Amino acid sequence: MSHGEVKTRSNMELVCAKDDRLPTKELWINFTAERCPGLAGKPKLYFIQACRGSKVDKGKRITRPAIGIPVQTDSIQEDYVIPLHADQLVMWASYPGFPAFTSERKGIQGSVFIHFLAENLKNCASTSPRPSLFSILLKVTREVAVLYESRPESSEYNKNKQVPYIHSTLLREIYF
């Protein structure tokens, strides 16, 4: 959890640390299979609460549900080589270019994203059968996007929407 920004000329995303700003890719680059062989084949999960820009999202009202498309995958052999950046999941509080909101209403004290993430992880810990991480994160995304609307004093950021963003190279489902 930190503040974030985007360098407009290079479109580089940064997170703010105590003494400096750090390009976000620096958060996970040292955990690749090449640089950290002990973590090869093991999932690395990053949840980032930081703004990614200052654009506003007023949302779009829809009246009918989207239709899903089934996906097929190839089977994986027992002995295989994985890409260096495999088995990483990064979930951002917001879509690229947009802010990540905080709130002090409806029981949310601080980050809207972290609130819904923590609630869903806690609630799914005792359910049987246990849902996959992807299904939990999908629920988090839906709840942030649908149940929350910003209401800060500034009119520019009043009544805006937020949608978390997932970048994943995971090779298998994760269950807790």
167 carries an active-site annotation: no
- Per DSSP, 31 falls in state G
Which tokens go with 73? 């995958």
> Strand 165-168 vs strand 88-92: parallel, antiparallel, or unpaired?
antiparallel
**CB contact set of 125 (below 8 Å; sequence gap of 6+):** 176
Beta bridge partners of 133: none
Catalytic residue chosen out of the listed positions 3, 16, 85, 124: 3
- Tokens 């950021």 belong to 157
Distance CA 137, CA 71 (A): 19
115 carries an active-site annotation: no
Catalytic residue chosen out of the listed positions 16, 51, 115, 167: 51
Active site residues: 3, 51
